[in-house]
Amino acid sequence: MLPRDLAAVADRLKRARRVTMLTGAGVSAASGVPTFRGAGGLWRQFRAEDLATPSAFARDPRLVWEWYDWRRAIVAGCAPNRAHEVIAGWSRRFDAFHLLTQNVDGLHERAGTIGVTRLHGSIWTLRCWQDCGAAPWSDERVPLQPLPPRCPSCGALARPAVVWFGEPLDSADLVRADRACACDVFLVAGTSAVVHPAAGLAEIARSRGAFVAEINPEATMMSAAADVSLRGNAEIVLDALEIRLAAIDRRPSGV
Ligand code: OAD
């Protein structure tokens, strides 16, 4: 990560009124939550794409629930890390701040971030697989009993209230995400940017004039669309940006 790039992003943030962030699993990596792709991305021999689909659930709901129950148990033992903390602070710092997250772990909320749009739902919320009309409900028990859990209203299978591959995002979330793309700075952290529509949001923001920066230890599908790529872990890069912002805050005005 070049100090020049870090300074450029800090300077943009300092002057920004509307800031939007898009986060992915990499932001929770330092908390101990496994990412979906790359090292440690497999559960047993399965990829996320093998399990996070309606057809996988229809075929073997117990298997899919075992995977979610495993992830829920890991997350329950994790705490927000420095990346979550900095983002939580920024959610109060800027006039208009939006966090669009693909993460379903709830760590942004636990860190105190306000204005979170959970594009892919939450692993702590369940809903009826048969869509019997019962409202989604919160269930934070770890482990879940029974597995698979049942809808309290109709007794059918319950499913995690997350967005699976092949399913549309919630339309209100899409509207919020689209509005949030109208911003001064669009920061993308910890996502491989392969899952759409989230992966396309940075391009939309850029086409509307936003300065786009990416924070990731590796090059991704969206690196080419970023004005600046800060190569590093989110918990380190965001901390470094926060330090720079605080230093700019302390400067006498006009310097
Ligand atoms: P991925 O697992 O695809 O990507 C994680 C990204 O985080 C990679 O680009 C890593 O290089 C990066 N990374 C790892 N450690 C990091 C750190 N400490 N700081 C910053 N970045 C780090 O996760 P997502 O992009 O979030 O969807 O995946 C998108 C969606 O695919 C998920 O929401 C989930 C998944 O399947 C569904 O389940 C529908």
Query: Can you say whether residue 241 is alpha, beta or left, with left for phi > 0 and alpha for psi between -120 and 50 degrees?
Result: alpha
Q: Does the Cβ of 30 fall within 6 Å of ligand 1?
A: yes
Active site residues: 120
Of 192, 220, 221, 230, best ligand 1 pocket probe by most atoms within 8 Å of the beta carbon:
192
List C-alpha distances in Å: 74 to 31, 78, 160. Answer: 10, 7, 16
pTM given for the model: 0.96
Task: Give the tens place of pLDDT for each residue, 162-193.
Answer: 999 999 999 999 999 999 999 999 999 999 99
Q: Does the Cβ of 220 fall within 6 Å of ligand 1?
A: yes
Helix, strand, or coil here: 167? coil
Task: Give the tens place of pLDDT for each residue, 88-120.
Answer: 999 999 999 999 999 999 999 999 999 999 999
Q: Does the Cβ of 121 fall within 6 Å of ligand 1?
A: no
- For ligand 1, the distance from its centroid to the CA atom of residue 27, given in whole angstroms, is 8
Q: Does the Cβ of 163 fall within 6 Å of ligand 1?
A: yes
- For ligand 1, the distance from its centroid to the CA atom of residue 248, given in whole angstroms, is 31
Listed in sequence order, the DSSP H helices in the chain are 3-15, 26-29, 48-51, 54-59, 61-76, 82-93, 107-111, 171-180, 201-207, 234-250
- What is the structure's pLDDT at 44? 87
